[in-house]
Structure 1
Amino acid sequence: MNFLKKSSLLIGAFSLFILLFGCGTAEALDEADQYISTIEEIEIPDGVKVIGLGEATHGNIEFQELKKDVFEVLVKKENVRVFVLEGDFGGGQQINQFILNGVGTAEDAVNTLDYSIYKTEQMINLVQWMHDYNTKVEGDRKVYFYGNDMQRYDYSKKGVLDYYSVVNAKAFKKYASQLEHVSNDTMRKLTMKQLNGIDKTIDTIILDMQTNEVKYVDQSSKESYLFALQYAEILKQRTQLFLNEANYTKLRDQYLTDNLQWIAEFEAERGHDNIFVTGHNGHIEKTSASLAGYKSMGNYLDELYGEKYFAIGTDFMTSEFQAKNGGSGERQIHTLENRNDLVDAFSDVEPNVFYVDFEKASKSSELLDIISRKQKMANIGDDFRGWYKTLKKFYTIEMIPNEAYDSVIIVKAATPTNVME
């Protein structure tokens, strides 16, 4: 009886281990190399308007380098002229000034985002490449940089006030005073009363701009007016996130989508119909698979654009990555092995970084089976603690690959970025 009881406990424990840790068990696919291609060989289907690139971690060199590598291919082969980053909208426009007009340096421009994950050599190289590219081409071929995030105040506030200093000096003084205490440094110390006051001020600003559109455009330009109004919307979104902490992730992806749509429509008016957006895998994928329960930007984009939205996910086999420990705030290096049937199928291919188009992969019955059923794919943010390694749900999202993405880039061994704090 005791033996049976112990055996049952052992079987139960083993079953729980498999359930929780569930590593991939697939063998390497024979001739898997015929289903891969280089980044330079990426081809996007005709009619696509928005190309999304996810990143499995924020802390690996390879995933940050892919932003530049993929965008460069899209610029040269797909006539894409617009780069959108999961980063601050206002700071993004400071980067835009650098790549278009050479204002400041690439490092200074990157620092305006105020996101430590982007204070890396790889991001500086991306921005410098965009600047250098623009010096060699005519106006209609130049590239543009945007952020579609709303988690900062400073540069959007500056954008609003700079505009009022041109079109309405009296309003400028009033709003500068009312928003004096609003900044990146102070925003997490603001009381609910202050936040509600800020929200009302921004509503007044938006209403004033909408009411006086003709007058303000006459004193400035249509483009500067639209940007000022969008800066105000970003301030509103940031404030709403603070006022609705319980719905933070839900609201953020909705706002990410709204801002991306604004960028797409604004740039379409300038003749740029195709845009490239990059962010975390959890924002890019189409199926809202995260256990956090929010609707992903990729899901919204899939509904808005259908087949005109092409999503590229990323995954790794092994990764040595850096991330911030939310408890201590210190950055640490972590090492992780990621196993699922999809990455296992390509474990014998030679390149360290390669592209897998799911349409091409579907010609293999084995690969079609793998990408058509749930896989635990890497998804690591900027907060990671050592004990997260004990459960796959803390560093993966379980999704059906060919429903979440149209293709995937796999990195066999990923290496850590160095954040320049």
Structure 2
Amino acid sequence: MKKKTRRFKIRYIIFGLLGAILLAALVFMRFGGFGTGEKVNPEEFLAYAEPVENISVPESAKIIALGEATHGNAEFQQLKLEVFKQVVEHNGVRALALEGDYGGCEQVNRYIHGGEGTAQEAAAAIGFSIYRTDEMAELISYMRQYNESASEAEDLRFYGFDMQRIAYSMKFLTEICEELEVDTTNLQKLVEGENWSGEYDSSTRVEILSQVKKELKNKSGSTQAIHFTDMLMQNSELQMQENSDGGTLRDQFMAENVLWILQQEQLNGHESIFVTGHNSHVAKWGSYDSMGKLLSKEASNGYYVIGTDFYKTHCNMPTRSPEKRTTQVFYSHDPLAKTAKLAGLDICWLDFGKVPENSELGRQAAEYTYMGTLGESYSIIMRLLPSSYRMFQPPAVLYDSMIFVTEANPTQIVNEK
């Protein structure tokens, strides 16, 4: 009888331990740890936190960048429009440059200048599902409406600085070449449908495009066409890289493209541009040469960057199936974002330049800190490795200021293509 009692107790203890381990594992996987991170003094935070409508950017800033902690939250897309409106009004900005392909964004640019179709169709032309949202359509609609009453010199323009899609770049390049009487025979052989033709490898495509570019240089009015060839060559060169080098090369290309956009705007009499993309691309410091890091090395650019983060996110993310997406909950463990929540702020802006370095808040902003960073991929492994969806960097070194969203809601992807 005693043996049975002893066995029962041992089983009870074992099941209890297993239950405790399971509960701890569930808590860890839910929160990315056994809590939601550290915090700073909420009262001190409130003394420096401001509403987003109070954002002010130095007049010397020529490239004003807004980052997004995730691609799948409505608030970060809404901020594109909110901040853009402010820099249009207060900084004389007339151009928005998006982390989207130049060709697809040129289609949007044509729409906001009176082109046919709808704002949703224009958003779909960018080529990424993350932009097929009501928030992006609202941004595009604002730009079109603005242009209806703007003079030619003061109209808004929409650019892309990425190169991962080719369809619209090839379409517009071919059209311009035909107008300028540049032979397109070899050019048209490069593409089948929306993809590169399998008959040519990347190096051959670059050779053909280089020849087209050479011919275009002898034609007046070919500036945009030459840039289309550059985008297509960048795409081909990117495909020739090993996976480990592709990300760095892409950021290098994006930095070059942003500088080209700035140059075009300055030729039109506007000294500054608004750039928006993922935090990892716009941050001015990091473990690799990001676009923002490269741009910030030249003081003449007046590079100013606003980062973003969340306390908690319900993030719309893709699964392994291209047609299916999932909403997942994550916590950033960012002490600043957590303090914003404790201070009762749904969304706020913090200018690091106004925070005393010797204050608790200033010291926290300068220290290595966990921050949320989610892209276009989701895996169950992320539940076991919180570092896979967080960066560990000093916020005030990465950004000049930050916007914190306490609870970010998922975007809704519009299926219209």
For 1:108 and 1:345, how far apart are their aligned partners in 2? Answer: 40
For 1:99 and 1:295, how far apart are their aligned partners in 2? Answer: 33
Q: Is the 8 A contact 2:75 2:409 kept in 1?
A: yes
**Which of 236, 240, 244 lines up with 2:241 in the alignment?**
244
- Residue by residue, what CA displacement relative to the aligned partner does 1:189-247 show, whole Å, maximum 9, x if unpaired? 847x533322221121122223x2xxx21xxx3xxx10000000000000111111332
Query: 2:148 matched to 1:154?
Result: no
Aligned counterpart, 2:152: 139
Q: Is the 8 A contact 1:28 1:347 kept in 2?
A: no
Please list, as runs of the form range in 1=range in 2, the aligned pairs for 1:243-392 lying within 5 A after superposition: 243-246=240-243, 247-289=245-287, 294-305=288-299, 308-326=302-320, 330-362=324-356, 365-392=359-386
Q: Is the 8 A contact 2:216 2:226 kept in 1?
A: yes
For 1:362 and 1:316, how far apart are their aligned partners in 2? Answer: 23
Aligned counterpart, 2:130: 117
Distance 1:198 1:255, change over 3 A: same
For 1:352 and 1:306, how far apart are their aligned partners in 2? Answer: 36
Aligned counterpart, 1:75: 88
Query: 2:224 matched to 1:227?
Result: yes
Aligned counterpart, 1:127: 140
For 1:399 and 1:204, how far apart are their aligned partners in 2? Answer: 44
For 2:133 and 2:62, how far apart are their aligned partners in 1? Answer: 29
Q: Is the 8 A contact 2:44 2:361 kept in 1?
A: no
Q: Is the 8 A contact 2:63 2:274 kept in 1?
A: yes
Q: CA deviation at 1:27?
A: 4.4
For 1:150 and 1:305, how far apart are their aligned partners in 2? Answer: 26
| Amino acid paired to 2:310 | F
For 2:141 and 2:351, how far apart are their aligned partners in 1? Answer: 29
Q: CA deviation at 1:327?
A: 6.0
Larger radius of gyration: 2
TM-score norm. by structure 1 comes to 0.86
For 2:187 and 2:332, how far apart are their aligned partners in 1? Answer: 50
| Amino acid paired to 1:121 | D
SS at structure 2 position matched to 1:30: helix
Q: CA deviation at 1:343?
A: 1.8
Distance 1:307 1:275, change over 3 A: closer
- Residue by residue, what CA displacement relative to the aligned partner does 1:364-401 show, whole Å, maximum 9, x if unpaired? 70111101110111110011123313222111111111
| Identity score, percent | 31
**Which of 203, 207, 220 lines up with 1:200 in the alignment?**
207
The root-mean-square deviation of aligned C-alpha atoms, in Å, is 2.2
TM-score norm. by structure 2 comes to 0.87
For 2:94 and 2:339, how far apart are their aligned partners in 1? Answer: 35
For 1:277 and 1:206, how far apart are their aligned partners in 2? Answer: 27
Q: Is the 8 A contact 2:176 2:225 kept in 1?
A: yes
Q: Is the 8 A contact 2:313 2:331 kept in 1?
A: yes
- Residue by residue, what CA displacement relative to the aligned partner does 1:128-151 show, whole Å, maximum 9, x if unpaired? 011111112222321111010000
Aligned counterpart, 1:85: 98
Distance 1:267 1:27, change over 3 A: closer
| Mean CA deviation greater in 43-52 or 137-146 | 137-146
For 1:358 and 1:307, how far apart are their aligned partners in 2? Answer: 20
Q: Is the 8 A contact 1:319 1:337 kept in 2?
A: yes
For 1:337 and 1:269, how far apart are their aligned partners in 2? Answer: 44
SS at structure 2 position matched to 1:347: helix
